């Protein structure tokens, strides 16, 4: 080889421009590939190690194949209307097959349109979200429905890489063990949707007041938009924000082919009726629901609020609402006759109008609406008190004219004290009056109770334990022990029938007096409520006229000890009714439900009944756990003879026809109703208990701390109108019952008698019981009609026993 060729060969090997750079590049690429491979292997190895460590610690998701979330206790009327539910979470467990397609499409459109295509993690969705976020578009997430189930059921909401790793691992595990439908079912029942609603079925009831199966495209789209901001963007919290989200979802539903353009346009135009917050219960049965809750908790403990119990009661929805309305109307009528007590509170109104709404909202937060009595803050008062402006929550302004200020006129007077004066900043109550005009009013201080039950078996049909449950949760129907007053007299008269009295027994209505040395306190001279004395009268007329003196003479004759024993037959407690003559005037203690149960004995022919409320308890699948059959009473539960019940029924019908409760038959125009008014000493309690053979109802009105209701307030004037108002609804369509006389009674001269007393037997007057016959003429001459000395001594002897 020549020298020139050798030199050329050397230069070819050493000149970089002649191919050395290729080798350098290959080596660089080799090193890069090796580093990348090492990195990938390291990541894979790290991932495998993390998986090996983390996977065994993942929770067992197999239990989700038999998904059992927390389900609340639900309380229903007899006709299946939901009254109330108890539990941290409102949820209606709905199988996937019962969830309407439109609801599924709305959720998939906004949450995970490729749900049925990916394997748990949507890689296309991740890439799309990343590009959108890098492009500074609206931030997008990439969580699939499966990932949300993993997070919501098992993980916290903290944003950490560790939690995200667990979320992805759980996602794969869920996708492996469960079907797509099972995962979607869990999501749609588990997701939180604001206002304690979990799952779309509960949310549909909460926001629209309808079952999920009935939602429209527009409603489904609004529900599907709630999960992103459940507490702040639901239609109750912020309708505008919820509406914007709804419109976006309707567009997504159209883009994904779930609905047509025409359907989308119609859905956007649909006007939605959002269920108001105060319409959470369509049946006003708060006291009933609380009674059920207490009974269920006593049986099931803490599981009461999570195992999905459904409790069906004997309550009739229409009767319950009629009872609620009647009691509130009667109490409000009474309160309008009372003096105005002044605003509930005073606040300083800010000078800046922009701050006014917030100040009003803050002030009213501690003054919730009480049914139709709405809380508001006065913002303006006319100098002459002829008009006023008030502001409600949310900045709503209401103008009130002169007619609407009559009930609070004393608070607008220039002479009103500082605590009574209505001025800007005063927290007051407003209400729509009978002419649908705004009026200013106040929350009543007086309380009341109404209970109605079926005397044939004891089933409670309506129960209202007070004016407003949120104001006072004390259940006056079952917990208030009060003096029954004259409404207790029928039970004393019933005892008298067994001692030979009859409706025509003549009894003297003349004065009685008890000396302080005998009573151990103040001298007692009982009076008739209406004053005056009428002389001799029949026992039937005395009951109709509610004459106190006659009742005392009757009890004096049969003895208080016998009377005390007799009343226990009706379910009254002997120790609550000491054996003194004052028992004849209802000086003992009863509860409204106890009094109603006692009158049921007269209504059903003499049988004692036990009131009951719960008829059936089921679990969330409908399996019956407890069932109570309402059965008519048997002879083993007989309290009094059928003859006694029949005659007392005829006498109590006379009370409702011509006596202190004459308004009852005059208004209802039914000959089959009876009852008895009751007004206690100093008018501290007002009662009326009346019945028809299928329904007995007791109404009570009084103050929690007993005080005078007013000198003119009586059971007939205060409680009877409430009873009539309720019974007009409750007895609508109920046929008039014709009472059949039992064996052993006969009718003579229009009155009923025990057969053995019809022809000269029994007691024709008190002299027939061994007492001096009353002489009304002599009584008038003696001045004030004083009782004879022998009779007076015998009555006083009763106080010494």
Q: Which residues are catalytic?
A: 111, 486
Interstrand relation of 310-313 and 73-76 (parallel, antiparallel or unpaired): parallel
CA dist., res. 664 & res. 313, Å (int): 29
Distance CA 599, CA 583 (A): 17
DSSP structural state of residue 632: -
For the sheet with 685-692, list strands across it: 460-464, 447-453, 695-702, 685-692, 674-679
Cβ-contact 579, 540 below 8 angstroms: no
Query: Which residues fall within 8 angstroms of residue 205, CB to CB, at 6 or more apart?
Result: 82, 90, 92, 197, 211
CB-CB neighbours of 81 under 10 Å: 18
3-state secondary structure 416-449: CCCCCCCCCCEEEEEEECCCCCEEEECCCCCEEE
Q: What angle do CA 211, 217, 223 make, to 5 degrees?
A: 60
Q: For residue 471, which phi and psi values (nearest 5 degrees)? A: -80, -40
Q: Cα–Cα distance between 447 and 624 in angstroms, integer?
A: 38
**What is the Cα–Cα distance from 427 to 423, expressed in whole angstroms?**
9
Using alpha carbons only, how large is the chain's radius of gyration in Å?
Answer: 39
Contacts (Cβ under 8 Å, ≥6 apart) of 551: 486, 489, 492, 493, 542, 584, 585
Helix boundaries (H) for 313-470: 317-336, 356-364, 409-412
The per-residue b/e assignment along 150-178, b for 16 or more CB within 10 angstroms, e otherwise, is bbbbbeeeeeeeeeeebbebbbbbbbeeb
**Cα–Cα dist 633/453, whole Å:** 14
Do the bridges between strand 447-453 and strand 506-509 make them parallel or antiparallel, or are there none, so unpaired? unpaired
DSSP 240-308: HHHHHHHHHHHHHHHHTTSS-HHHHHHHHHPPP-PPPGGGS-SS--HHHHHHHHHHHHHHHGGGGGTB-
Q: Please report the DSSP string for 178-201 in residue order.
A: S-HHHHHHHHHHH-B-STTBBSHH
Closest to 392 (Cα-Cα) out of 361, 431, 356: 361
Cβ partners under 8 Å of residue 286, min gap 6: 84, 469, 470
Q: What are the structure tokens assigned to 740, written together?
A: 């059949």
């Amino acid at each position: 080889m020549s020298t020139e060729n050798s030199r050329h060969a050397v230069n070819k090997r050493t000149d970089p421009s002649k191919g050395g750079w290729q080798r350098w590049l290959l080596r660089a690429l080799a090193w890069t590939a090796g580093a990348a491979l090492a990195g990938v292997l390291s990541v894979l190895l790290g991932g495998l190690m993390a998986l090996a460590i983390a996977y065994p610690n993942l929770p067992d998701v197999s239990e989700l194949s038999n998904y059992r979330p927390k389900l609340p206790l639900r309380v229903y009327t007899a006709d299946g209307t939901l009254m109330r539910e108890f539990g941290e979470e409102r949820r209606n467990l709905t199988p996937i097959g019962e969830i309407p397609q439109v609801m599924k499409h709305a959720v998939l459109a906004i949450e995970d349109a490729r749900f049925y295509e990916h394997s748990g993690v949507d890689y296309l969705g991740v890439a799309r979200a990343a590009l959108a976020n890098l492009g500074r578009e609206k931030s997008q997430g990439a969580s699939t429905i499966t990932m949300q189930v993993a997070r919501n059921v098992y993980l916290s909401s903290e944003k950490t890489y560790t939690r995200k790793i667990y979320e992805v691992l759980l996602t794969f595990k869920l996708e492996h063990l469960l079907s797509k439908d099972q995962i979607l079912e869990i999501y749609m029942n588990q997701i939180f949707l604001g206002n304690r609603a979990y799952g779309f079925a509960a949310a549909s009831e909460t926001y629209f007041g309808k079952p999920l199966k009935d939602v429209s495209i527009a409603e489904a789209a609004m529900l599907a938009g709630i999960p992103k901001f459940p507490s702040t963007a639901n239609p109750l919290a912020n309708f505008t924000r919820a509406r914007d989200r709804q419109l976006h979802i309707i567009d997504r539903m159209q883009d994904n082919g779930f609905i047509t353009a025409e359907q989308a346009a119609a859905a956007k135009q649909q006007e939605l009726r959002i269920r108001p917050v105060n319409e959470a219960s369509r049946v006003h049965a708060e006291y009933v629901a609380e009674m059920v809750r207490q009974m269920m908790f006593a049986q099931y403990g803490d599981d009461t609020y999570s195992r999905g119990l459904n409790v069906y009661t004997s309550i009739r929805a229409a009767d319950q609402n009629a009872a609620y309305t009647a009691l509130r109307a009667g109490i409000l009528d009474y309160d309008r006759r009372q003096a105005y007590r002044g605003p509930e509170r005073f606040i300083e109104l800010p000078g800046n109008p922009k701050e006014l709404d917030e100040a009003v909202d803050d002030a009213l937060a501690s003054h919730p609406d009480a049914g139709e009595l709405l809380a508001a803050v006065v913002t303006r008062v006319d100098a002459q008190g002829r008009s006023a402006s008030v502001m409600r929550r949310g900045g709503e302004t209401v103008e009130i004219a002169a007619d609407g200020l009559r009930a609070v006129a004393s608070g607008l007077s220039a002479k009103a004290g500082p605590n009574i004066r209505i001025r800007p900043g005063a927290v007051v109550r407003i209400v729509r009056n009978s002419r649908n005009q705004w009026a200013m009013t106040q929350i009543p201080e007086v309380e009341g109770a109404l209970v109605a039950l079926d005397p044939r078996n004891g089933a409670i049909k309506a129960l209202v334990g007070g004016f407003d449950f949120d104001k006072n949760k004390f259940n006056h129907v079952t917990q208030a022990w009060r003096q029954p007053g004259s409404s207790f007299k029928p039970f004393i008269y019933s005892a008298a029938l067994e001692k030979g009295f009859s409706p025509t027994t003549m009894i003297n209505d003349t004065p009685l007096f008890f000396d302080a040395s005998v009573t151990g306190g103040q001298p007692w001279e009982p009076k008739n409520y209406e004053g005056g004395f009428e002389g001799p009268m029949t026992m039937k007329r005395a009951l109709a006229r509610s004459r106190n003196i006659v009742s005392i003479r009757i009890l004096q004759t049969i003895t208080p000890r016998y009377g005390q024993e007799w009343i226990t037959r009706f379910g009254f407690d002997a120790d609550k009714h000491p054996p003194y003559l004052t028992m004849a005037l209802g000086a003992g203690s009863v509860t409204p439900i106890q009094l109603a149960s006692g009158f049921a004995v007269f209504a059903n022919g003499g049988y004692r009944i036990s009131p009951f409320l719960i008829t059936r308890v089921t679990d969330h699948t409908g399996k019956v756990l407890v069932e109570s059959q309402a059965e008519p009473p048997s002879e083993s539960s007989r309290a009094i003879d059928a003859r006694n019940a029949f005659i007392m029924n005829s006498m109590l019908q006379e009370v409702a026809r011509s006596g202190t409760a004459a308004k009852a038959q005059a208004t209802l125009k039914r000959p089959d109703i009876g009852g008895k008014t009751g007004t206690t000493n100093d008018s501290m309690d007002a009662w009326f208990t009346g019945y028809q053979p299928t329904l007995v109802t007791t109404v009570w009105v009084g103050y929690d701390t007993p005080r005078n209701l007013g000198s003119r307030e009586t059971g007939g004037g205060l409680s009877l109108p409430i009873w009539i108002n309720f019974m007009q609804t409750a007895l609508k369509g109920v046929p008039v019952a014709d009472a059949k006389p039992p064996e052993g009674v006969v009718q003579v001269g229009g009155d009923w008698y025990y057969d053995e007393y019809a022809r000269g037997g029994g007691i024709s007057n008190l002299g027939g019981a061994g007492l001096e016959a009353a002489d009304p003429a002599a009584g008038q001459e003696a001045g004030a009609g004083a009782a004879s000395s022998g009779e007076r001594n015998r009555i006083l002897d009763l106080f010494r026993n």
